Amino acid sequence: MEDDIQTLREEVKAKVRNIPDFPKKGILFRDITPVLRDGALFRRVCDALASLIKNNGCTAVVGIESRGFLLAAPAAAMLEIPLGIIRKPGKLPWKTRRAVYSLEYGEDAIEIHEDAIAKGDRVALVDDVLATGGTMEAATRLVKELGGEVTVIAFLIELRALEGRKRLQGYNVNSLIEF
């Protein structure tokens, strides 16, 4: 099994495309679309994520806008457990809860439907990239506010130099690959 995961890590890392100066000069963007384009590889990524979620006894999955949806939705469907979504403000049509978080220069916010998580749910939070950790830290606050327990946090990619894991201390944080 560990050999399978290591092989998967190597294959995913080889497919991630580096795009310099996107979305602005000085940023090296890690593009996951080549992974998504490889149906067999994407399926194996989803299988690994579903296995992680199942092994941690999660009863719900929450994906973070927008690429986190691409990973969270198939895993939730495979496990036949509820899927919740977290979006930028003003994008969800029903009653929401909001969490504000700090950016390098200013603030941002995310929202979730008030009924996305049931009290006592064991939640897997899923996103594509762990950078500074601000969005995911805010997401953990939303889950707790709604009565859920963050059981596992999963990322496809972790950008180690940005030290986002530090903001998520005390949580079970997993990333498939690191740069």
Long-range contacts of 165-171, Cβ-Cβ distance < 8 Å, separation of 24 or more:
165/130, 165/133, 166/133, 167/132, 167/133, 167/134, 167/136, 167/137, 168/130, 168/133, 168/136, 168/137, 168/140, 171/140
The catalytically annotated residue of 11, 43, 65, 67 is 67
Does residue 167 have an active-site annotation?
no
Does residue 160 have an active-site annotation?
no
What one-letter code names the amino acid at 41? L
The catalytically annotated residue of 2, 80, 104, 107 is 104
d(CA 88, CA 33): 22
- Just list the catalytic residues: 67, 104
